[in-house]
Structure 1
Amino acid sequence: MSSRTKHGIKRASIILGTVVVYLLIWAGLTFLIAALGIRHFWGKISVSQMLTNLVSVQTDGGGGALVWMGIGFVGVLPIVLTIGIALFRRYLRRRRARRDTESRPRRSPWIGRSVSAVMVLALTIGGTSSFATTVGMGDYIRSASSPYDMADYYKDPKVTGDSHKNNIVTIYLESGEQTLADDQLFEKNAFESLQQATPESEGWQSVDSLQQYNGGGWTMAGLTSTQCGVPLKGSSSVLSSAGSSDSDGQGANYLGGLNCVGDVLGKHGYKNAFLGGANGSFAGKDKFLGGHGYTEEKDLSTWRNMGEPEKNFRSDWGLSDQRLMEHAKEEIDQLHAESEKTGQPFNLSMLTLDTHEPVHVYDYCNVDTKSDVTSVYACSMQQVAGYVDYMKEKGYLDDTAVVIMGDHLKHMSAGDAFHEELDNNPNRSIFNRVWVPGDKNSAPLRPRVDQLNMFPTLLEAAGLELENHEAGLGVSAFSPTVPEGSAQSLSPDAYSGLLDSLSSKFYARAWSGTKPED
């Protein structure tokens, strides 16, 4: 081999080694900054949460400034820092070269190279491990070897009767945690107005200590768990489904292999509608709704096209709860009138957003607490309470069931409020209220159920009769007991293991788009 060839190989090796080093630096910085950002804004999350939200983020009405911050800090900053490190090292080499021309004794280059190598490895390993811990990668890997499989416990809802159908309204409260009603922990009871609008003396009920399901904790997990009865998990299917560019959401495959609330009610003659203040495409919400029987969805683009003044929007998420509830009054007027005329019942669902941190204080909210968050919660609940009062005044509660519940517990990321009150609180639960016309509201609801049980509860509130009160992994809260052999009959440890399980074959079918009867 000629000396020129050897020199070329040596030079190529040096260039390749340099490229690898800077790729490792870039990767370490990217993972580290991403981990710090996630911890600050969302706390510790799961792989499923990352997948189902990352693929469909929106700069308008889907996080707004947070999206741009993510692009800047995670996408651009690591590149800038890596280039800066490269330029600094080049400066040091040139400076060292100039000194080498002097008569000073030369130090061994291996010392500097060893220190640099250790620093690069430390950055790469530290950044990667921080990110893996933040997104629960270890839990995700362990779930693949779980002995449990959700397919063994999942029950496709079987309706045995629908002769007593009710209209149904479901209101999801953003971060609606029951704990914030404790005026001993907080400056005031943030849910007081809504509690007064839904008194037990009039027949309203609650699931005592409604639990967030193990592994949940974000909006789409709250929606899918209560409407489909399973934890929200996925793999590459999520990327193709939630991230689909199909604009209207019709026929989209978001857990398309499962029968959910909209599917079941749709088959029994219901018209399904959804109202939300945020961008419907954020996290694939429009794909989920459009693929599960919802034929009408109104979101941020709808309200803008209707000419809502810009003052009624928050730049990061969307329309205020006050205006959303006003539109919801118009919506239920129309749906109820159509129902009386045609005999077709309706299912109206909606999702608030004022209480999504960082909270936005609208003009209609009087801040009378040291923490703006407490006042904003109270103001949001006042809007929902006003909507409940409106349904009462119009007589809609005579034939319309109402379920009000938080979509998840309040987030406890580094940038959120109430760490002192909630971090180590053992009694955290989700706020909920249930109204069912007729005599069914006299039966107490089973306490301490989790969100998965709300799937069959919603169907039964709508007046459908379910075989064994089961649907998905849940058993209706209207049933005082759970069937032997159901997921809900498992011991707490076994049930936790089931929810943690990857259940890859089950979710492959769930995301396949082929429903059980197809």
Structure 2
Amino acid sequence: MSGWILHVLRRVGVVVGRLLAYVLIWAGLALLIAAAGIRFYWGKISVGQMLLNLVSVEIDGGGGAVVWMGILGIGVVPLLITAGVALWQYLRRRERRRNDDDVRPRRSRWILRTASTAVVAAVVVGGSTAFATSVSVGDYIRAANSEYDLGDHYVEPTVTSDEHKRNLVLIYIESGEPHLADDRLFGKEAFAPLEEVSKASDGWQSVDGLQQYQGGGWTMAGLTATQCGVPLKGVGSAAGSGVVNELGGELGTYLGGLACLGDVLDEHGYDNVFLGGANASFAAKDTFLSSHGYSEVKDLADWRAAGEPEENFRSDWGLSDERLMAHARDEIDELHAESERSGRPFNLSLLTLDTHEPVHVFDYCDVDAQNKVTSVFSCSMTQVAGFVDHMKEEGYLEDTAVVIMGDHLAPESFHEQLDGNDDDNDSRSIFNRIWIPGEDGNSTLRPRVDQLNMYPTILEAAGLTLQDHEAGLGVSAFTSEIPDGSAQAMEPGPYAELLNSLSPRFYAKVWVGEDAAR
């Protein structure tokens, strides 16, 4: 009887062991393919970006192609490979039994089992290591152990005067980076159309060397940095808050404890409107905007409802920049006319789409460069330049400030050219142009600030006067004086550690809607 029990236990152990091996093979392959996909599309990312962005893609108008490739690459392919290995092993064992050849020398069996174990271990360790490296798990662990907390340096914006407030147009260029204007690198000056309508000689200003903030690099990070003045961190930092249960757009509020751009403008009588070509629910962008003073958000669903023909959409993201800017012209005409009637200023915020990877070549764009991405950038900038021309022709630039900037650095496909560009020791930076009515453009903005400083800069561009020029962690680029105690007064090393810090106390407050300044 005991022999029978031992036999059963041995058989159960063999079955469990094989199942465990197959599960490990599947997990290792899934992690390895996920790591390869992340590297291919985005390069090295952060845990925060993965949690707040990658898991919230939408099949319709929010990275649909990535969704399907993720389902196939991470879900189906590893399962098929694992099933294939299991089937091969099963047929191999059955063939040996059929040929009465199951008895092998002990040494041969030991070598085979050792080799099999080594292969499984290699797949698991390789996949886990590749994935951990791709999402910067090491940086996340170090950030979790940081002694810094953003709440010690966060400053809620205090408007001391709105006597000179003016209309505001805020345009985000998807992946906008000025090195793309370098024809030595790309064979074409991709930003030439936009640069032509925003010359310094005509009064436009810019921040020399505008930096992507430490830990940023995706659209929502760019939006929250420039409109709230803080790094975007999510579920890990707000652990225990009970508000980030669903990352796919089910949040009641988004960083509700912060006073962001739309909140401040709304408080001072502005009408805030956002136009974008994609599905606004992607990465909970609609929740963020509606949580912070935007009364109207128009996205993919609105353009379809407006009767836009299907050829004006890219299947993975949404409406073309040509048609988005056409709608933007109609929108600003209505907003400006209403502003003149009511006396209420407006903020019109736009986000381009054509240059989101993988780029899509619409019919209105001719590929005339070696890299089609360069041509698409040029075509997109032509559309934005046309919108700026429209504002100029209609006289809107006489009472409307305009801020144009990239949402983050250029995508992975340009890294080979951009990372190797050492001319003039100039590091990579974000494209930006600022128009202030009545300014001559001769004033010099503080150079090499990061995106967090754009929050108070935009508020001051809108004509609001800020106490100490501060908002969030930033100090307006319109001043060279940095207040004592500001995050911007810190040395580069400690400042980088501050931005990387998970700051759980701070983010627990802002995610549940508590005043971050308390």
**Structure 2: any 5+ residue segments left out of the alignment?**
none
Please list, as runs of the form range in 1=range in 2, the aligned pairs for 1:125-144 lying within 5 A after superposition: 125-144=125-144
Q: Which residue of 1 aligns with 2:93?
A: 93
| Mapped contact 2:151–2:517 kept (Cα < 8 A) | no
For 1:369 and 1:439, locate their aligned partners in 2 and report how far apart those are by CA, in whole Å: 37
For 2:79 and 2:247, locate their aligned partners in 1 and report how far apart those are by CA, in whole Å: 28
Name the amino acid aligned to 1:331.
Answer: E
Please list, as runs of the form range in 1=range in 2, the aligned pairs for 1:59-458 lying within 5 A after superposition: 59-101=59-101, 108-235=108-235, 239-240=244-245, 242-245=247-250, 252-412=252-412, 416-417=413-414, 419-423=416-420, 425=422, 426-439=426-439, 443-458=443-458
**Structure 1: any 5+ residue segments left out of the alignment?**
247-251
For 1:110 and 1:141, locate their aligned partners in 2 and report how far apart those are by CA, in whole Å: 39
User: Deviation of residue 181 (structure 1)?
Assistant: 1.5
User: Deviation of residue 202 (structure 1)?
Assistant: 2.0
For 1:497 and 1:476, locate their aligned partners in 2 and report how far apart those are by CA, in whole Å: 22
TM-score by structure 1 length? 0.94
Greater mean deviation of Cα atoms: 236-245 or 187-196:
236-245
* 3-state secondary structure, aligned to 2:210: coil
User: Deviation of residue 139 (structure 1)?
Assistant: 0.5
Q: Which string of whole-angstrom CA distances, capped at 9 and with x for unpartnered residues, describes residues 473-503 of structure 1?
A: 1000111221121111111111111111111
CA 1:261–1:179: 2 relative to 1, 3 Å? same
CA 1:421–1:169: 2 relative to 1, 3 Å? same
- Identity within the alignment, %: 61
| Mapped contact 2:452–2:473 kept (Cα < 8 A) | yes
For 2:96 and 2:64, locate their aligned partners in 1 and report how far apart those are by CA, in whole Å: 47
Q: Which residue of 2 aligns with 1:24?
A: 24
User: Deviation of residue 513 (structure 1)?
Assistant: 2.0
Greater mean deviation of Cα atoms: 366-375 or 341-350:
366-375
For 1:43 and 1:59, locate their aligned partners in 2 and report how far apart those are by CA, in whole Å: 22
| Mapped contact 2:408–2:430 kept (Cα < 8 A) | yes
Name the amino acid aligned to 2:11.
Answer: R
| Mapped contact 2:154–2:517 kept (Cα < 8 A) | no
For 1:402 and 1:177, locate their aligned partners in 2 and report how far apart those are by CA, in whole Å: 18
| Mapped contact 1:27–1:124 kept (Cα < 8 A) | yes
Greater mean deviation of Cα atoms: 345-354 or 56-65:
56-65
| Mapped contact 1:52–1:239 kept (Cα < 8 A) | no
Name the amino acid aligned to 1:349.
Answer: S
Q: Which residue of 2 aligns with 1:39?
A: 39
Name the amino acid aligned to 2:245.
Answer: S
Q: Which residue of 1 aligns with 2:511?
A: 511
CA 1:101–1:183: 2 relative to 1, 3 Å? closer
User: Deviation of residue 442 (structure 1)?
Assistant: 5.0
For 1:443 and 1:69, locate their aligned partners in 2 and report how far apart those are by CA, in whole Å: 49
User: Deviation of residue 207 (structure 1)?
Assistant: 0.3
Q: Which residue of 2 aligns with 1:249?
A: none
| Mapped contact 2:202–2:440 kept (Cα < 8 A) | no
| Mapped contact 2:200–2:441 kept (Cα < 8 A) | no
CA 1:119–1:424: 2 relative to 1, 3 Å? farther
For 2:78 and 2:205, locate their aligned partners in 1 and report how far apart those are by CA, in whole Å: 52
CA 1:242–1:341: 2 relative to 1, 3 Å? farther
TM-score by structure 2 length? 0.94
* 3-state secondary structure, aligned to 2:186: coil
* Aligned residue-pair number: 510
| Mapped contact 1:242–1:254 kept (Cα < 8 A) | no
| Mapped contact 1:174–1:408 kept (Cα < 8 A) | yes
User: Deviation of residue 461 (structure 1)?
Assistant: 0.8
Q: Which string of whole-angstrom CA distances, capped at 9 and with x for unpartnered residues, describes residues 333-370 of structure 1?
A: 11111111111111110000111122211221122222
Name the amino acid aligned to 1:380.
Answer: S
C-alpha RMSD of the superposition: 2.0
